[in-house]
Homo-oligomer: A and B are copies of this chain.
Amino acid sequence: MATAREIRLKSRPVGLPTADNFEMATVDLPDPGPGEVQVRNLWMTVDPYMRGRMNDVKSYSPPFQLGKALDGGAVGEVTASNDPKFKAGDLVQSGLGWREGFTAPASSLQKLDTRGLPPQAFLGAAGMPGLTAYAGLLRIAALKDGDVVFVSGAAGAVGSMVCQIAKAKGHTVVGSAGGAEKVAFLKEIGVDHVIDYKAEKDLTAALLAAAPDGVDVYFDNVGGPHLEAALNGARLFARFAICGMISIYNATEPQPGPRNLALLIGKNIRMEGFIVSHHFDLMPQYIADLSKWVAEGKVTWKETVFEGLEKAPDAFMGLFKGENLGKMLVKLA
């Protein structure tokens, strides 16, 4: 029997999470019983949506429990198997992140066919963030030829894929992100007009300077003033894919929505929220497209890596300070 460290939710954050909200514990990993597998995690992901699960409210994912290990996407290696479908050395994906290892039923694992990509890509560009970008653009926003695309949180795990998918499909892309390093990254991946929102007093003016005829598609990762600017800058029949509102995830009081929401009417704007889990059917098509785009050099990605389970809370908190360029990951082994 081995042991593994795990990160637990010690207390529910009020506003921005702090180190005090987390605690580390060491638990025994029992040898796998019949139908069970033991896994050593190599990588885990931290994502903004996890903030919502730290509140004790029903949402699309169940809330994390106090005193229990957190969870989320992870990639690991089988160390012992008592199930015929897995053998030691297999790479696997699971929803059992925030821990160095675990023993669990084989049914909770998926074998990973990396197709030449690094395994942690399946937590980012080739995983849920990438599929989120793909489904949001193609299915929710119904991207069509000639659309001008505006993306907020453009240098993040989802946003940077939105930008590149839209560019790969031949669109003009306006991306907004904060700070010189992110601006440089967005230019590097071919974004046509980059807005450094931290340097702009008037986001609407910045958007209209970048897209004088307005935008047809807005991919929203942040909410708040970006959403207001997108409404102001939208063209007739614009489509908004509402993916995240990181600007309000840590708010302790309800935040007012956009003051210009009535623009929906005259501009006939369609605004649609979505979560990726309703779009898993697109995964095979996405991976096929992604492989092609990667081979053609049209899509690339960045990772911001924290090393060691003890750094996972810092990685998570860093999401809300804009510390990540591309996918925020924790390397566990």
Known: A254-B260, A257-B256. A270 touches B271 (CB 8 A): yes
Indicate whether A284 reaches chain B with its CB closer than 8 angstroms: no
B268, A275: Cβ atoms closer than 8 Å = yes
Within 8 A of B (CB), among A248-274: 248, 254-274
Write out the residue numbers on chain B whose beta carbons fall within 8 Å of the beta carbon of A248: 262
B270, A272: Cβ atoms closer than 8 Å = yes
List the B residue with the shortest CB-CB distance to A271: B271
Q: How far is the CB of A141 from chain B (nearest CB, A)?
A: 11
Indicate whether A126 reaches chain B with its CB closer than 8 angstroms: no
B271, A272: Cβ atoms closer than 8 Å = yes
Residue in A59, A245, A268 with the greatest tally of chain B CB atoms within 10 Å: A268
B278, A265: Cβ atoms closer than 8 Å = no
Q: How far is the CB of A64 from chain B (nearest CB, A)?
A: 16
Indicate whether A121 reaches chain B with its CB closer than 8 angstroms: no
Write out the residue numbers on chain B whose beta carbons fall within 8 Å of the beta carbon of A214: none
Write out the residue numbers on chain B whose beta carbons fall within 8 Å of the beta carbon of A243: 265
Write out the residue numbers on chain B whose beta carbons fall within 8 Å of the beta carbon of A262: 223, 245, 248
Give complex CA distance A223, B259 in Å. 11
B274, A272: Cβ atoms closer than 8 Å = no
Give complex CA distance A243, B268 in Å. 10
Interface size on A, residues (CB 8 A): 31
A59, B273: Cβ atoms closer than 8 Å = no
A265, B259: Cβ atoms closer than 8 Å = no
Write out the residue numbers on chain B whose beta carbons fall within 8 Å of the beta carbon of A265: 60, 242-245, 273-275
Q: How far is the CB of A198 from chain B (nearest CB, A)?
A: 23
A254, B259: Cβ atoms closer than 8 Å = yes
Q: How far is the CB of A232 from chain B (nearest CB, A)?
A: 11
Write out the residue numbers on chain B whose beta carbons fall within 8 Å of the beta carbon of A270: 270-273
B223, A266: Cβ atoms closer than 8 Å = no
Give complex CA distance A272, B263 in Å. 11
Write out the residue numbers on chain B whose beta carbons fall within 8 Å of the beta carbon of A260: 254, 257
A266, B275: Cβ atoms closer than 8 Å = yes
Q: How far is the CB of A319 from chain B (nearest CB, A)?
A: 16
B261, A259: Cβ atoms closer than 8 Å = no
Give complex CA distance A330, B270 in Å. 35
Write out the residue numbers on chain B whose beta carbons fall within 8 Å of the beta carbon of A245: 261-262, 265
Give complex CA distance A244, B264 in Å. 10
Q: How far is the CB of A225 from chain B (nearest CB, A)?
A: 12
Give complex CA distance A278, B273 in Å. 24
Write out the residue numbers on chain B whose beta carbons fall within 8 Å of the beta carbon of A268: 272-275, 278
Q: How far is the CB of A204 from chain B (nearest CB, A)?
A: 13
The 4 closest A-B pairs by CB, nearest first: A257-B257, A264-B273, A256-B256, A254-B259
Some 13 contacts from A to B, beta carbons below 8 A apart, are A60-B266, A60-B267, A242-B265, A254-B259, A256-B257, A257-B259, A261-B261, A263-B273, A264-B272, A265-B275, A269-B272, A270-B271, A271-B271
- Give residues in A with beta carbon < 8 Å to B: 59-60, 223, 242-245, 248, 254-275, 278
